[in-house]
Copies of this chain bind each other. A is one copy, B any other.
Amino acid sequence: MKIVIFSHYKEVADEILKDSYAIVIDLLRATTTMIWAISNGAEKIIPVEEIYEARLLKNLNKSVLLGGERGGVQIEGFDLDNSPLSYKKEVVFGKTVVMTTTNGTRALKKAAGAKRTFLGSFINAKKTAEYIVNEALHQGIGTISIVCAGTEERFTLEDILCAGYFVELFKESFSNIYLDDLSIASYELYKKFENDPHEILKYSYHYNNLKKLGFVADLEFCLKKDFVDLVCEYKNLVVEKV
Protein backbone atom coordinates (compact mmCIF):
# COMPACT_ATOMS: atom_id res chain seq x y z
CA MET A 1 0.00 0.00 0.00
CA LYS A 2 1.21 3.48 -0.92
CA ILE A 3 0.41 6.37 1.43
CA VAL A 4 0.52 9.89 0.01
CA ILE A 5 -0.18 13.07 1.96
CA PHE A 6 -1.13 16.41 0.43
CA SER A 7 -0.62 19.40 2.73
CA HIS A 8 -3.60 21.33 1.30
CA TYR A 9 -6.20 20.87 -1.40
CA LYS A 10 -4.31 22.76 -4.09
CA GLU A 11 -1.41 20.32 -3.74
CA VAL A 12 -3.55 17.32 -4.67
CA ALA A 13 -2.26 15.46 -7.73
CA ASP A 14 -5.33 14.24 -9.61
CA GLU A 15 -3.49 11.34 -11.24
CA ILE A 16 -2.62 9.94 -7.80
CA LEU A 17 -5.99 10.76 -6.28
CA LYS A 18 -8.23 9.17 -8.90
CA ASP A 19 -7.35 5.53 -8.21
CA SER A 20 -7.00 5.97 -4.45
CA TYR A 21 -9.15 6.03 -1.34
CA ALA A 22 -8.96 9.53 0.16
CA ILE A 23 -9.15 10.78 3.72
CA VAL A 24 -9.86 14.49 4.20
CA ILE A 25 -8.63 16.10 7.42
CA ASP A 26 -9.69 19.54 8.59
CA LEU A 27 -8.96 18.79 12.21
CA LEU A 28 -9.74 22.26 13.61
CA ARG A 29 -12.59 21.94 13.20
CA ALA A 30 -14.67 21.06 10.14
CA THR A 31 -14.17 17.31 9.79
CA THR A 32 -14.14 16.75 13.56
CA THR A 33 -17.41 18.69 13.89
CA MET A 34 -19.08 16.85 11.02
CA ILE A 35 -18.09 13.45 12.42
CA TRP A 36 -19.30 14.44 15.89
CA ALA A 37 -22.61 15.69 14.47
CA ILE A 38 -23.16 12.38 12.66
CA SER A 39 -22.16 10.53 15.81
CA ASN A 40 -24.86 12.47 17.66
CA GLY A 41 -27.46 11.36 15.17
CA ALA A 42 -27.44 13.98 12.42
CA GLU A 43 -28.76 12.23 9.32
CA LYS A 44 -26.47 13.96 6.89
CA ILE A 45 -24.22 16.97 6.43
CA ILE A 46 -24.17 19.01 3.26
CA PRO A 47 -20.92 21.01 3.14
CA VAL A 48 -21.08 24.18 1.04
CA GLU A 49 -18.52 26.89 0.42
CA GLU A 50 -20.67 30.01 0.45
CA ILE A 51 -23.12 31.47 2.94
CA TYR A 52 -25.68 32.14 0.19
CA GLU A 53 -25.59 28.46 -0.83
CA ALA A 54 -26.41 27.49 2.75
CA ARG A 55 -29.29 30.00 2.85
CA LEU A 56 -30.63 28.74 -0.47
CA LEU A 57 -30.82 25.17 0.87
CA LYS A 58 -32.59 26.40 4.01
CA ASN A 59 -35.11 28.18 1.79
CA LEU A 60 -35.81 24.90 0.02
CA ASN A 61 -36.32 23.06 3.29
CA LYS A 62 -36.90 24.96 6.53
CA SER A 63 -36.13 21.91 8.65
CA VAL A 64 -32.42 21.87 7.85
CA LEU A 65 -30.00 23.39 10.33
CA LEU A 66 -27.40 25.88 9.15
CA GLY A 67 -23.94 25.62 10.67
CA GLY A 68 -20.53 27.14 10.07
CA GLU A 69 -18.37 30.11 10.72
CA ARG A 70 -16.57 33.05 9.27
CA GLY A 71 -13.46 34.17 11.12
CA GLY A 72 -14.19 31.54 13.77
CA VAL A 73 -17.59 32.91 14.80
CA GLN A 74 -21.19 31.98 14.05
CA ILE A 75 -22.81 33.47 10.94
CA GLU A 76 -25.80 35.79 11.38
CA GLY A 77 -29.07 33.91 11.18
CA PHE A 78 -27.37 30.50 11.38
CA ASP A 79 -28.43 27.83 13.88
CA LEU A 80 -24.95 26.65 14.82
CA ASP A 81 -21.33 27.73 14.75
CA ASN A 82 -18.39 25.45 13.86
CA SER A 83 -17.70 24.15 17.37
CA PRO A 84 -18.19 20.38 17.69
CA LEU A 85 -19.55 21.00 21.20
CA SER A 86 -22.54 22.83 19.71
CA TYR A 87 -23.65 19.76 17.77
CA LYS A 88 -25.33 18.02 20.71
CA LYS A 89 -27.70 15.08 20.33
CA GLU A 90 -30.74 17.14 21.35
CA VAL A 91 -29.94 19.66 18.63
CA VAL A 92 -28.90 17.55 15.65
CA PHE A 93 -30.56 14.13 16.03
CA GLY A 94 -32.38 13.17 12.83
CA LYS A 95 -31.50 16.49 11.20
CA THR A 96 -29.82 17.48 7.97
CA VAL A 97 -27.13 20.06 8.63
CA VAL A 98 -25.86 22.41 5.93
CA MET A 99 -22.38 23.55 6.91
CA THR A 100 -20.34 26.28 5.32
CA THR A 101 -16.62 26.12 5.83
CA THR A 102 -13.87 27.26 3.50
CA ASN A 103 -10.81 25.00 3.66
CA GLY A 104 -12.73 21.88 4.68
CA THR A 105 -15.34 22.08 1.94
CA ARG A 106 -12.76 22.80 -0.75
CA ALA A 107 -10.70 19.84 0.41
CA LEU A 108 -13.76 17.55 0.36
CA LYS A 109 -14.74 18.68 -3.13
CA LYS A 110 -11.21 18.22 -4.41
CA ALA A 111 -10.90 14.78 -2.78
CA ALA A 112 -14.23 13.69 -4.27
CA GLY A 113 -12.21 12.74 -7.34
CA ALA A 114 -10.97 9.67 -5.44
CA LYS A 115 -12.58 6.19 -5.67
CA ARG A 116 -14.06 6.86 -2.22
CA THR A 117 -13.67 9.83 0.12
CA PHE A 118 -13.72 9.58 3.90
CA LEU A 119 -13.59 12.16 6.68
CA GLY A 120 -10.64 12.02 9.06
CA SER A 121 -10.14 13.22 12.60
CA PHE A 122 -8.49 12.07 15.81
CA ILE A 123 -11.87 11.27 17.35
CA ASN A 124 -12.59 8.37 14.96
CA ALA A 125 -9.22 7.70 13.31
CA LYS A 126 -8.83 4.08 14.38
CA LYS A 127 -12.28 3.03 13.22
CA THR A 128 -11.84 4.90 9.94
CA ALA A 129 -8.41 3.39 9.29
CA GLU A 130 -9.72 -0.13 10.05
CA TYR A 131 -12.60 0.30 7.63
CA ILE A 132 -10.37 1.68 4.90
CA VAL A 133 -7.81 -1.09 5.33
CA ASN A 134 -10.48 -3.78 4.91
CA GLU A 135 -12.17 -2.13 1.97
CA ALA A 136 -8.92 -1.29 0.23
CA LEU A 137 -7.65 -4.85 0.49
CA HIS A 138 -11.01 -6.18 -0.67
CA GLN A 139 -11.22 -3.84 -3.64
CA GLY A 140 -7.56 -4.00 -4.67
CA ILE A 141 -6.87 -0.34 -3.96
CA GLY A 142 -3.14 0.45 -4.08
CA THR A 143 -3.00 4.00 -2.74
CA ILE A 144 -4.46 5.94 0.16
CA SER A 145 -4.37 9.73 -0.28
CA ILE A 146 -4.57 11.86 2.83
CA VAL A 147 -5.80 15.32 1.87
CA CYS A 148 -5.16 17.90 4.57
CA ALA A 149 -7.40 20.92 4.32
CA GLY A 150 -4.62 23.28 5.39
CA THR A 151 -5.21 26.91 6.25
CA GLU A 152 -5.28 29.62 3.59
CA GLU A 153 -3.76 27.11 1.15
CA ARG A 154 -0.76 26.46 3.34
CA PHE A 155 0.73 23.59 5.34
CA THR A 156 -1.07 23.33 8.69
CA LEU A 157 0.44 21.52 11.62
CA GLU A 158 -2.66 20.05 13.29
CA ASP A 159 -3.83 18.39 10.06
CA ILE A 160 -0.34 16.97 9.55
CA LEU A 161 -0.23 15.51 13.08
CA CYS A 162 -3.56 13.77 12.53
CA ALA A 163 -2.32 12.54 9.14
CA GLY A 164 0.73 11.16 10.95
CA TYR A 165 -1.56 9.20 13.25
CA PHE A 166 -3.27 7.66 10.22
CA VAL A 167 0.16 6.74 8.86
CA GLU A 168 0.90 4.92 12.11
CA LEU A 169 -2.39 3.03 11.91
CA PHE A 170 -1.68 2.02 8.32
CA LYS A 171 1.89 0.99 9.16
CA GLU A 172 0.40 -1.41 11.71
CA SER A 173 -2.05 -2.83 9.17
CA PHE A 174 -0.12 -3.28 5.95
CA SER A 175 2.94 -5.51 5.86
CA ASN A 176 4.10 -3.90 2.64
CA ILE A 177 3.83 -0.14 2.81
CA TYR A 178 5.42 2.73 0.87
CA LEU A 179 5.37 6.20 2.42
CA ASP A 180 5.96 9.39 0.46
CA ASP A 181 8.23 12.03 2.01
CA LEU A 182 5.41 14.00 3.63
CA SER A 183 3.99 10.77 5.12
CA ILE A 184 7.39 9.99 6.64
CA ALA A 185 7.64 13.53 8.04
CA SER A 186 4.05 13.52 9.38
CA TYR A 187 4.56 10.17 11.07
CA GLU A 188 7.79 11.28 12.75
CA LEU A 189 6.22 14.54 13.92
CA TYR A 190 3.17 12.74 15.23
CA LYS A 191 5.33 10.22 17.13
CA LYS A 192 7.41 13.02 18.68
CA PHE A 193 4.30 14.69 20.12
CA GLU A 194 1.80 11.85 20.36
CA ASN A 195 1.54 12.10 24.13
CA ASP A 196 0.95 15.84 24.07
CA PRO A 197 0.22 17.41 20.68
CA HIS A 198 -0.56 20.71 22.45
CA GLU A 199 3.17 20.93 23.18
CA ILE A 200 3.90 21.70 19.53
CA LEU A 201 0.51 23.08 18.46
CA LYS A 202 0.72 25.89 20.99
CA TYR A 203 3.22 27.52 18.59
CA SER A 204 1.10 26.99 15.49
CA TYR A 205 -1.03 29.47 13.60
CA HIS A 206 -4.59 28.20 13.43
CA TYR A 207 -4.58 26.57 16.88
CA ASN A 208 -3.55 29.90 18.35
CA ASN A 209 -6.24 31.78 16.48
CA LEU A 210 -8.90 29.48 17.93
CA LYS A 211 -7.37 29.80 21.38
CA LYS A 212 -7.52 33.59 21.14
CA LEU A 213 -11.18 33.33 20.13
CA GLY A 214 -11.85 31.34 23.31
CA PHE A 215 -12.27 27.84 21.85
CA VAL A 216 -9.95 26.10 24.32
CA ALA A 217 -12.51 23.33 25.00
CA ASP A 218 -12.71 22.66 21.24
CA LEU A 219 -8.94 22.25 21.03
CA GLU A 220 -9.03 19.66 23.81
CA PHE A 221 -11.95 17.88 22.16
CA CYS A 222 -10.47 17.76 18.66
CA LEU A 223 -7.18 16.28 19.90
CA LYS A 224 -8.72 13.36 21.82
CA LYS A 225 -8.37 10.03 20.10
CA ASP A 226 -10.80 7.29 19.12
CA PHE A 227 -13.84 7.78 21.31
CA VAL A 228 -16.13 7.75 18.26
CA ASP A 229 -16.93 4.44 16.68
CA LEU A 230 -18.21 5.27 13.22
CA VAL A 231 -16.94 6.08 9.77
CA CYS A 232 -18.10 9.03 7.66
CA GLU A 233 -18.01 9.17 3.89
CA TYR A 234 -18.45 12.09 1.48
CA LYS A 235 -20.38 11.05 -1.61
CA ASN A 236 -22.61 12.92 -4.03
CA LEU A 237 -21.99 16.17 -2.11
CA VAL A 238 -23.20 14.71 1.18
CA VAL A 239 -21.46 13.40 4.31
CA GLU A 240 -23.11 10.34 5.82
CA LYS A 241 -22.33 7.46 8.11
CA VAL A 242 -20.98 4.45 6.22
Contacts and interface: CB of A to CB of B under 8 A. Distances in A.
Contacts of A173: none
A28 to B, nearest CB: 12
A203 interface: yes
Q: How many copies does the complex hold?
A: 2
A38 to B, nearest CB: 28
A88 to B, nearest CB: 31
A179 B192 contact: no
Contacts of A206: 181
Given A7-B7, A192-B192, A157 B185 contact: yes
A104 B156 CA distance: 25
Interface string A187-228: 011001100000010011110000000000000000000000
Contacts of A7: 7, 155
A169 interface: no
Contacts of A193: 188
A183 B235 CA distance: 35
Contacts of A154: 11, 13, 180-182
A192 B188 contact: yes
Contact of A203 (B160, B179, B182, B200): B179
B160 A185 contact: yes
Contacts of A181: 151, 154-157, 160, 204-206
A238 interface: no
Interface in A151-176: 151, 154-157, 160
A182 B155 CA distance: 6
Contacts of A189: 185, 188-189
* List of 6 A-B pairs having minimum Cβ-Cβ separation, nearest first: A157-B181, A155-B182, A181-B204, A184-B203, A155-B181, A181-B205
